Amino acid sequence: MIQVVDKNDLMELIGYSETQASKLIRKAKSQLVQEGFEWYKNKRIGRVPIITVESILGFQIQLKNDIIEGNLQNAVMTEGEK
């Protein structure tokens, strides 16, 4: 499944400001339209594939998983515990 991100995801995942994240989404949409994905020409579309954003930035974005990064990391429930 292709992961998609919006400006709020970018702000949270890589710490960009709202303006930077919005510009990055706009650039990704423009790139997708040039590649033939006319769907992204719509100004109301605010989510783009993470792969496109990564290609613009030049690095891979690590998605966060609350369960793994939270307090339950390496936690094992033994019999009798609730």
Q: For residues 73 and 21, what is the distance between their CA atoms, to the nearest angstrom? A: 30
Domain ranges in the chain are 4-69
Nearest in space to 45 (alpha carbons), one of 1, 17, 4, 14: 4
DSSP helix, strand, coil percent of the chain (3-state; round to 5): 50, 5, 45
pTM for the whole thing?
A: 0.73
- pLDDT tens across 26-78, in order? 999 999 999 999 999 999 999 999 999 999 999 998 876 544 344 444 445 55
Assess contact for 5 and 32: CB atoms under 8 A.
Answer: no
- pLDDT tens across 7-30, in order? 999 999 999 999 999 999 999 999
